[in-house]
């Protein structure tokens, strides 16, 4: 049987691989073996119970493979036993056993380097007790790569004393160490010093030995990246939207990495080139060596947007002589469709008015809310002098009744009727009586930058009031009233069909992914979100997140936090989640707990004979009953989950049969 519900989640489209240089992430030093010709830096890591006068330096601090480095030291006295021990290099550097000053020699070797840095550990010891010595079998510093498996560096020289040996890390953010076994777990890229410390037994002084651990970022490559790019334009020259996705899984251990893509979107139009640059982002990005400027360039085909970018009223479908409603002021204006005096065969709307507060009311249908539009434009042609420098004002409303009589053009402060909150905008600066405008067609555009609360959500069938508020007699034509959508606006997805498919998923083989049908999420995003929720609730969530609790080696329950108990709804829902996630182990543990503590065996007495064969709906976390009665939804989901499990995994034996 196909996976019942989980099949709706897709497999990530991009599989990313380890770089060739990182095929063996547990290898300690192989990547530095070929660096013998490089310029190396010498670094001293000084520790121990340092006394006044102790000192150690190295000179020179840089050099090539084969060069000699002089280590100058002063070992203070004043104690029965004094010692200076060196480690961290393949070739041993002779330790100092008596107070005084002197030198030691070290010959540079690329095998001792991590990223061209050679760290020499210098540990001072001073005591009136007998000095003890402990040492790792391999005194070399360790180089690891992010993602390496845990490792243990063995101590073969445990010294003469009887003190306990414990381990510590001075930077547990980079790596932690088991205090008893010395096993080191790598957590992130960086550096830390691992110390093995042996306690004093009263006869022998405490002893210690150290090594430096350097964790380098993991080198990544992107293999066959897949990017979904859509470039739309409004049919003219403006790019509307560029959309891209990149997602995937990296590495042998399926290390999740967040990826992003940046676009060079300067090119506009069909057939133009677009450049996509991939880069890694996310909280753990520093643990990876990113592919620098990983770029792919190709040609995409720009297509006109699948939605109209403009809504226009041009009166061409109207009959000559048709009249429109108007706002009313000192008199009623005449608002009538007439022939365009310039463009033969075309039509316009004439507004003739005498007195204040008069304008045309034009119905218009906006598919989307007004706040998603960038501008309103129109053409105007004064046919008689008299307008002068008056502004053309534009208002919008859900109903024509909003445009109160004597209200057009008035402000709220005027004290008269007004609908100022519905103002879309107005023209400024034009002298309509000048030759530039009189008996000439001119286009004006009003920017819609921040529409007020009264109009920003207007959509569908709305009304526009357009006119000039003056006491003069005016006559003018208007045409091509146009609302233009913002370039970046993309419409919400079409609603899903109300009627379900006539054929079920098992029969049709079509397991619907409603997130994907909705059009807002990719397969990779859906899959990642599902896995993240599952991990938190069932696998490795915190105490406050996890609801799946194992109570025995073969049993588990779903914890109900608000009442500190276990309920049949939670258990059966949890089983349903397990079968969807194909997790038979957790499914079986939940079912064993449910059968052991909740099931009312019909052959045995139970409180109320009607409870036999059903499940007690509420128990304490130790399995004792809080309520014997059943809960219908719990019963139905138990049955459904068991049927799904049988179809997916078959029957087991005993309780699992």
Top CATH class of 22-217 equals mainly beta
C-alpha angle 194-198-200 in degrees, rounded to nearest 5 = 150
pLDDT for 483 equals 95
- Residue pair 287/146 in contact (Cβ under 8 Å)? The answer is yes
Whole-angstrom Cα distance, residue 576 to residue 68?
A: 69
Tokens 């102790």 label which residue?
54
- Residue pair 239/310 in contact (Cβ under 8 Å)? The answer is no
Domain residue spans in the chain? 22-217, 220-304, 310-485, 547-656
Whole-angstrom Cα distance, residue 558 to residue 567?
A: 8
pLDDT for 20 equals 26
- Residue pair 378/478 in contact (Cβ under 8 Å)? The answer is yes
pLDDT for 498 equals 52
Question: Looking at the DSSP assignment, which residues form a beta bridge with residue 549?
Answer: 557
pLDDT for 10 equals 28
* Residue 648 three-state SS: helix
Residue 370 DSSP symbol: G
Tokens 């079509």 label which residue?
510
Q: Residue 530 to residues 76, 256, 571: CA-CA distances in angstroms?
A: 63, 14, 19
Evaluate whether 22-217 and 310-485 have a shared fold: no
- Give the tens place of pLDDT for each residue, 15-58: 222 222 233 333 333 333 333 446 899 999 999 889 999 999 99
- Using CB atoms within 10 Å of the CB of residue 344, give its burial: 0 to 12 exposed, 13 to 18 middle, 19+ buried: exposed
Q: Residue 265 to residues 82, 262, 269, 291, 307: CA-CA distances in angstroms?
A: 69, 9, 11, 21, 21
**Which residues 6+ apart lie within 8 Å of 394 measured at CB?**
376, 378, 423, 424, 425, 426, 446, 464, 465, 466
**Which residues 6+ apart lie within 8 Å of 651 measured at CB?**
657
Tokens 């890390």 label which residue?
169
Reported as type and span, the H/E element at residue 485 is strand 470-485
Give just the sign of the alpha carbon dihedral 614, 617, 619, 621. Answer: positive
- Residue pair 524/244 in contact (Cβ under 8 Å)? The answer is no
Residues found in the chain: 657
pLDDT for 496 equals 53
Q: Residue 457 to residues 372, 421, 491, 655: CA-CA distances in angstroms?
A: 9, 13, 14, 59
**Which residues 6+ apart lie within 8 Å of 331 measured at CB?**
353, 354, 355, 358
pLDDT for 219 equals 65
Whole-angstrom Cα distance, residue 87 to residue 207?
A: 14
pLDDT for 570 equals 94
- Residue pair 176/184 in contact (Cβ under 8 Å)? The answer is yes
Tokens 């009264």 label which residue?
454
Whole-angstrom Cα distance, residue 41 to residue 549?
A: 52
**Which residues 6+ apart lie within 8 Å of 519 measured at CB?**
493, 494
In percent, the amount of the chain with pLDDT more than 90 equals 54
**Which residues 6+ apart lie within 8 Å of 475 measured at CB?**
350, 351, 352, 353, 382, 383, 384, 386
Strand 218-221 vs strand 14-18: parallel, antiparallel, or unpaired?
antiparallel
Residues with pLDDT less than 70, the chain: 1-38, 219-285, 288-307, 492-503, 517-521, 604-609
Whole-angstrom Cα distance, residue 333 to residue 15?
A: 70
Closest CA to 198 of 99, 96, 130: 130
Q: Does domain 310-485 have CATH number 2.60.120.260?
A: yes
Whole-angstrom Cα distance, residue 583 to residue 581?
A: 5
Q: Token pair for residue 205? A: 């002084």
Closest CA to 478 of 386, 381, 412: 381
Whole-angstrom Cα distance, residue 222 to residue 276?
A: 13
Q: Is the peptide bond before 60 cis (omega within 30 degrees of 0)?
A: yes
pLDDT for 3 equals 29
Whole-angstrom Cα distance, residue 156 to residue 142?
A: 17
- Give the tens place of pLDDT for each residue, 147-202: 888 999 988 888 888 999 999 999 999 999 999 999 999 998 899 999 999 999 99
């Amino acid at each position: 049987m196909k996976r019942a519900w989980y099949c709706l989640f897709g497999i990530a489209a991009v599989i990313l691989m380890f770089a060739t240089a990182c095929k063996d992430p547990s290898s300690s030093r192989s990547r530095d073996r070929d660096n013998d010709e490089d310029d190396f830096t010498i670094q001293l890591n000084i520790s121990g119970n340092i006394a006044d006068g102790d000192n150690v330096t190295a000179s020179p601090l840089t050099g090539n493979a084969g060069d000699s480095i002089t280590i100058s030291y002063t070992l203070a006295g004043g104690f029965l036993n004094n010692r200076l021990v060196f480690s961290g290099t393949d070739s041993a550097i002779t330790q100092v056993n008596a107070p005084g000053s002197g030198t030691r020699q070290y010959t540079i070797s690329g095998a001792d380097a991590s990223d061209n840095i050679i760290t020499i550990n210098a540990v001072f010891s001073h005591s009136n007790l007998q000095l003890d010595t402990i040492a790792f079998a391999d005194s070399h510093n360790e180089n690891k790569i992010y993602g390496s498996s845990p490792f243990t560096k063995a101590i073969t020289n445990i010294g003469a004393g009887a003190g306990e040996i414990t381990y510590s890390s001075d930077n547990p953010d980079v790596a932690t160490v088991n205090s008893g076994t010395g096993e080191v777990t790598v957590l992130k890229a960086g550096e830390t010093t691992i110390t093995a410390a042996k306690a004093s037994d009263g006869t022998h002084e405490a002893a210690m030995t150290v090594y430096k651990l350097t964790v380098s970022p993991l080198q990544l490559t992107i293999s066959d990246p897949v990017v979904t790019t859509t470039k739309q334009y409004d049919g003219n020259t403006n790019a509307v939207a560029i959309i891209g996705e990149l997602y995937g899984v990296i590495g042998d251990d399926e290390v999740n990495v967040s990826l992003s893509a940046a676009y060079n979107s300067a090119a506009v139009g069909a057939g133009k080139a677009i450049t996509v640059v991939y880069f890694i982002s996310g909280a753990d990005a520093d643990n990876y060596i990113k592919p620098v400027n990983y770029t792919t360039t190709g040609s995409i085909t720009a297509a006109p947007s699948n939605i109209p970018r403009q809504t226009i009223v041009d009166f061409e479908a109207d009959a000559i002589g048709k009249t429109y409603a108007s706002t009313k002021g000192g008199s009623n204006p005449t608002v009538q469709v007439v022939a365009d005096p310039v463009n033969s065969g075309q039509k316009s709307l004439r507004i003739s008015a005498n007195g204040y507060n008069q304008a045309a009311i034009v119905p218009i249908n906006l598919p989307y809310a007004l706040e998603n539009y960038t501008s309103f434009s129109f053409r105007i042609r004064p046919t008689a002098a008299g307008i002068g420098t008056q502004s053309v004002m534009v208002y919008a409303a859900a109903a024509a009744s909003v445009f109160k009589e004597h209200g057009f053009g008035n402000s709220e402060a005027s004290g008269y009727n007004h609908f100022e909150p519905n103002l879309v905008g107005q023209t400024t600066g034009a002298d309509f009586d000048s030759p530039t405008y009189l008996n000439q067609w001119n286009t004006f555009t009003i920017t819609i930058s921040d529409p007020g609360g009264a109009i920003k959500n207007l959509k569908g069938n709305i009304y526009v009031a357009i006119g000039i508020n003056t006491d003069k007699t005016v006559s003018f034509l208007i045409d091509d009233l146009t609302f233009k959508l913002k370039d970046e606006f993309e419409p919400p997805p079409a609603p899903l069909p109300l009627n379900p498919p006539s054929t079920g998923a098992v029969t049709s083989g079509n397991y619907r992914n409603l997130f994907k049908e909705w059009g807002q999420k990719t397969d990779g995003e859906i899959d990642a979100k599902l896995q993240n929720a599952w991990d938190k609730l069932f696998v490795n969530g915190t105490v406050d997140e996890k609801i799946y609790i194992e109570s025995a080696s073969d049993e588990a329950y779903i914890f109900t936090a608000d009442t500190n108990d276990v309920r049949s709804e939670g258990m059966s829902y949890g089983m349903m989640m397990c079968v969807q996630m194909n997790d038979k182990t957790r499914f079986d543990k939940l079912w064993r707990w449910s059968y052991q503590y909740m099931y009312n065996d019909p052959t045995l007495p139970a409180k109320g004979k009607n409870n036999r064969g059903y499940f007690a709906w509420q128990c304490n976390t130790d399995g004792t009953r809080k309520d014997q009665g059943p809960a219908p939804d719990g019963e139905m989901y138990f049955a459904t989950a068991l049927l799904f499990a049988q179809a997916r995994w078959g029957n087991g034996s005993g309780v699992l049969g």
